[in-house]
Structure 1
Amino acid sequence: MHTTLAQAAAPATVASSNLILLAGLGVFAILLALFNYGTRAGTIARATWKECLRQPVFSILTAVGVLVVIANMIVPFFAMDDETKMFIDCGLSTILICCLLLAVWTASIAVAEEIEGKTAMTLLSKPINRRQFILGKYFGILQGVLTLLVVLGLVMYVSTYLKFGYDHKEQAKGALEYYVMAEGSSIPKPEPQRLAAANAIIPGLTLILMEAALMAAVSVAISTRLPMLPNMITCFAIFVIGHLTPVLVAAGRFKLVFVQFFANLVATLLPALDNLNMSPAISTGKTIPVQYVALNAVYTVAYVAAAILVAFLLFEDRDLA
């Protein structure tokens, strides 16, 4: 009896968690809209967002991301019962890479090249100060990343819905309909098992947005002083080390005091990106608690605020002439 109740409650719990996450993302989108149209920095954010969408790199990353997700859905992984798991892991990783590339590339174009090309000096001659310039650029980049994430996320969601049903049939577990008809209703509803598999990626997409937001803030701060190529190299190094910090800290416990100190210093200063990498857990069917996502959201906001403050300091005395 207890097992039956737990199994019945689990889907409801997951569904409520996903609703909370979607509501949180909706509130975030509303706050971005209020920032866009309610502040002076919002004018720069809207212009940066449009510039991001017009860039060839946005179209290229969108096309590549969609093609890779669809190709992974069609081409078999030869993983026996783990086809859908492999597909989800590869799909979320593809979306993450595309979003990070867009964030770092746009930050280099929108901040570093405008400073080098003296365009920033023209903007700052208007009633916009340097802090509003940085804030506008950052939130414009973030909106571009969010747009890409929504497009690729929708493709991934639909693909997962279709992929799960196909793999379910291939594993001789029975065919799943594309939709079901509720008793006494003529309105079709999504097939529950397919829908559950597709809904499982929502926490992963939310954490990808947080990781892209972190790297965008770091890239904006670096762009105030360094041009595109050094910025991209530095961000790549931070990305790699940020995912290795747990390994460094664990290794430092058994080494010299200096190694332990250095590992803890790196773990403190650099973003803890490995905490946001939940693709393997999601692909293996583990549920990501909404509390975990909420705690990472608080961490992301705090770290982004710190990175933007560093950007303010670096840009405050930057010679634009």
Structure 2
Amino acid sequence: MLVLVGLFAINRVSRVGYIARGTAKEAVRQPVFFLLLGISALILVVYTFLPFFSFGDDVKMLKDCGLVTMLFSGLLLAVWTASIAISQEIEGKTAMTLLSKPVNRRHFIVGKYLGIMQAVVLLMAPLVVLFCLLIYYKVGYDARESAKQVPDLFQPGTFLPNEERLSAVLQILPGILLSFMEVAVLAAVSVAISTRVPTVVNIVTCLAIFVVGHLTPVLVGPGGIQQEFVAFMARLIATVMPSLDSFDTKAAVATGVMVPPVYLLYAAIYCVCYCTAAVFLAFLLFEDRDLA
């Protein structure tokens, strides 16, 4: 929560905040923002009433599918906004106007990245609220469809949430946080790439990184590649590429357990370190970029 407050509080206190605020406003005004918000909300509602034929595990299927939906919507917005806010501004020479003011290139990169993450928060916040409400409702809906005892909406005699329904909602919150971390990592990578390549190349490259980032455990795991040179290259790729599989909560959702706080802490540290490295890479790539 403190991180989210700080993410928006910076808008009022620095030149970086000025750029971040403008980037977030530009992203929210884009039609793709409302398109992603509307489609994602509709998909979440459809998933709530869609029979998964999972023999009583429809709530778990809703959690899994809902997390994937919010993850992809956040990723699409982040990559698209990075392309619009950086790549197209450089190609359209508008970045020159901004950098002619008392704003250096490092301010430009950091401000753009923070603005992109603000836009992602503004997209995911209503989806998270809707998703939690749908899960809360789905617990009772699934029980009724399975001819089981339907848990009350609230505790008897109070307006406190029902414990069974609430536990299902609380179990998904770490997954939402990890999904946001994954978006933050790929957004930082997209910002670095956008300093050098056009929109289409950025989107394709980020898609490839997303796929490879989820395959890194397979590449370096036991029983994987046997050839020494190929195994070395696989380990090299796994080291350089972000380990996006670390943010995956499918196993926790499938087994119905909470993600441990220690795991969230390690994931947050990894997220911060990789985002910092990607932003520094963006500094290097953008430092000698000809904007004229």
Place the TM-score, normalised by the shorter chain, in its bin.
Answer: over 0.9
**C-alpha deviation, 1:166, in angstroms:** 1.1
What is the rounded CA distance, in whole Å, between the counterparts of 1:99 and 1:34 in structure 2? 21
Which sections of structure 1, spanning at least 5 residues, go unmatched?
1-25
Q: Does 1:267 align with 2:242?
A: no
Residue of structure 1 aligned with 2:81, choices 106, 110, 114: 106
Give the equivalent residue in structure 1 for 2:138: 163
One-letter code aligned to 1:111: I
Which sections of structure 2, spanning at least 5 residues, go unmatched?
none
Give the equivalent residue in structure 2 for 1:279: 250
Q: Does 1:229 align with 2:200?
A: yes
| Superimposed CA distance per residue, residues 201-236 of structure 1 (whole angstroms, 9 cap, x where no aligned partner) | 100100011000000000000000000000000000
- Normalization by structure 1: what TM-score? 0.88
Give the equivalent residue in structure 2 for 1:293: 264
The answer to whether the 8 A contact 2:213-2:241 is kept is yes
Residue of structure 2 aligned with 1:204, choices 170, 175, 189: 175
What is the rounded CA distance, in whole Å, between the counterparts of 1:162 and 1:105 in structure 2? 33
| Superimposed CA distance per residue, residues 110-149 of structure 1 (whole angstroms, 9 cap, x where no aligned partner) | 0000000000000000000000000000000001111111
Q: Please show how residues 45-64 of structure 1 align to structure 2 within 5 Å.
A: 45-64=20-39
Q: Does 1:305 align with 2:280?
A: no
- Per the alignment, in what secondary structure is the counterpart of residue 259 of structure 2? coil
**C-alpha deviation, 1:283, in angstroms:** 4.1
Q: CA RMSD in A?
A: 1.2
Q: Does 1:37 align with 2:12?
A: yes
- Per the alignment, in what secondary structure is the counterpart of residue 131 of structure 1? helix
Give the equivalent residue in structure 2 for 1:188: 159
Moved more, 141-150 or 162-171: 162-171
Residue of structure 1 aligned with 2:41, choices 50, 63, 66: 66
**C-alpha deviation, 1:260, in angstroms:** 1.6
- Per the alignment, in what secondary structure is the counterpart of residue 180 of structure 1? coil
**C-alpha deviation, 1:179, in angstroms:** 1.2
| Superimposed CA distance per residue, residues 237-295 of structure 1 (whole angstroms, 9 cap, x where no aligned partner) | 00000000000112675512112211111111010000101134224312200110110
The answer to whether the 8 A contact 1:169-1:175 is kept is yes
Q: Please show how residues 91-102 of structure 1 align to structure 2 within 5 Å.
A: 91-102=66-77
- Per the alignment, in what secondary structure is the counterpart of residue 188 of structure 1? coil
The answer to whether the 8 A contact 1:88-1:279 is kept is no
List 4+ stretches of structure 1 deviating above 3 A: 251-254
Q: Does 1:89 align with 2:60?
A: no
- Normalization by structure 2: what TM-score? 0.97
One-letter code aligned to 1:258: F
Identity within the alignment, %: 50
Residue of structure 2 aligned with 1:133, choices 73, 98, 108: 108
Q: Please show how residues 141-156 of structure 1 align to structure 2 within 5 Å.
A: 141-156=116-131
Moved more, 158-167 or 283-292: 283-292
What is the rounded CA distance, in whole Å, between the counterparts of 2:14 and 2:33 in structure 1? 26
Give the equivalent residue in structure 1 for 2:2: 27
Aligned residue pairs total 292
Give the equivalent residue in structure 2 for 1:175: 150
**C-alpha deviation, 1:170, in angstroms:** 2.4
The answer to whether the 8 A contact 2:218-2:224 is kept is no
Q: Does 1:258 align with 2:229?
A: yes
Moved more, 222-231 or 150-159: 150-159
| Superimposed CA distance per residue, residues 47-106 of structure 1 (whole angstroms, 9 cap, x where no aligned partner) | 001111111111000001000000010121122211111111111111111110000000
One-letter code aligned to 2:39: V
Moved more, 272-281 or 173-182: 173-182
- Per the alignment, in what secondary structure is the counterpart of residue 126 of structure 1? coil
One-letter code aligned to 1:87: L
Give the equivalent residue in structure 1 for 2:218: 247
